[in-house]
Copies of this chain bind each other. A is one copy, B any other.
Amino acid sequence: MAQKNILQYLLLGLLNQAPKTGYDLKRVFENEIGEFWQAKHSQIYPELKRLETEDLITHIELISGTKLKKKQYTITPSGVSYFNEWRYSPTSEILASKDEFILKLYFIESKNDQHLPAMFAEQTTLHTDKLTHLLARKALVFPNQATITANYGHYLILEHAINREQDYLKWLATADC
């Protein structure tokens, strides 16, 4: 995945919602959008610096407590238009999803391979755990209609993640026999 620099748009989009620090952004990747994009702090901090040199964002320094410095980034007007350009442009390519389990399945030669049941059982556990976690998050973050309306995009993405796990589990159940 070395080509489009989608990270920059995500950072701009997140800063377009509200000013944030690098650490705040890092946490968004760990939580809400982590299901569909990952970024470590070691990638986020340099990218924020680069975006600032491009005048797409600016920062001010805040002090937490007595001496802990943090940089709060804000999107600039040109940052907003650069973000909107991406946001409302066609999304033609379906980005690759890589699935190591499916690849291992590819090398199975027979329906009766003795390893198949254990492999399916393992994935079922894994995806069940993930689904449970996502459902718990949904219940926590969206307890009522007002919270959904206030964070509609986040809701959509979480719903999609839940849907994806449910379908994956359904496939595991039917494929394994």
Interface flag for A45 (CB, 8 Å): no
Query: Are A171 and B160 closer than 8 Å at their CB atoms?
Result: yes
A98-B95 contact in complex given A107-B87, A110-B152, A163-B167, C-beta closer than 8 Å: yes
Query: Are A108 and B156 closer than 8 Å at their CB atoms?
Result: yes
Query: Are A152 and B91 closer than 8 Å at their CB atoms?
Result: no
Interface flag for A64 (CB, 8 Å): no
> What per-residue 1/0 map shows which CB atoms of A84-119 lie under 8 Å from chain B?
001110111111111111111111111100010001
> Contact partner of A94 among B37, B95, B126, B153, CB < 8 A?
B126
Chain B residue nearest to A166 (CB atoms) is B167
Chain B residue nearest to A83 (CB atoms) is B107
Interface flag for A23 (CB, 8 Å): no
Distance in angstroms between the alpha carbons of A119 and B126 in the assembled complex: 32
Which residues of B have CB within 8 Å of A157?
A: 102-103, 105-106
Query: Are A175 and B156 closer than 8 Å at their CB atoms?
Result: yes
Query: Are A153 and B107 closer than 8 Å at their CB atoms?
Result: yes
Chain A residues packing against B (C-beta within 8 Å): 1, 6, 9-10, 13, 16-17, 32-33, 36-38, 86-88, 90-111, 115, 119, 122-123, 126-127, 130, 149, 152-154, 156-157, 159-160, 163-164, 167, 171, 175
The 10 closest A-B pairs by CB, nearest first: A97-B97, A167-B167, A106-B153, A108-B153, A95-B98, A91-B101, A13-B107, A36-B102, A106-B157, A36-B99
